[in-house]
Amino acid sequence: MGDLVHVTSVEPLGDHRLHLTFEDGAEGELDLSSWEWRGVFEPLEDPSYFALVTLDEELGTIVWPNGADIAPETLHAWIARGLKSTPV
Would 19 be classed as within a structural domain? Answer: yes
Domain count, the chain: 1
Would 76 be classed as within a structural domain? Answer: yes
Would 2 be classed as within a structural domain? Answer: no
Q: What is the CATH number of the domain that holds 66?
A: 3.30.2020.10
Would 1 be classed as within a structural domain? Answer: no
Would 59 be classed as within a structural domain? Answer: yes
Burial string for 36-75 (b: 16+ CB within 10 Å, else e) reads: eeeeebeebeeeeebeebebeeeebbbbbeeebbbebbeb
Can you give the residue range of the structural domain that contains 18? Answer: 7-80
Q: Which helix (H) or strand (E) holds 13?
A: strand 7-14
pLDDT tens digit string along 46-78? 999 999 999 999 999 999 999 999 999 999 999
End-to-end CA distance of the chain: 16
Would 86 be classed as within a structural domain? Answer: no
To the question of pTM greater than 0.85 for the whole model, the response is yes
Give 32-77 as a DSSP string: -TT----GGGGGGGSHHHHTT-EEETTTTEEE-TTS-EE-HHHHHH
Range name among 12-16, 38-42, 47-51, 79-83 with the lowest pLDDT average:
79-83
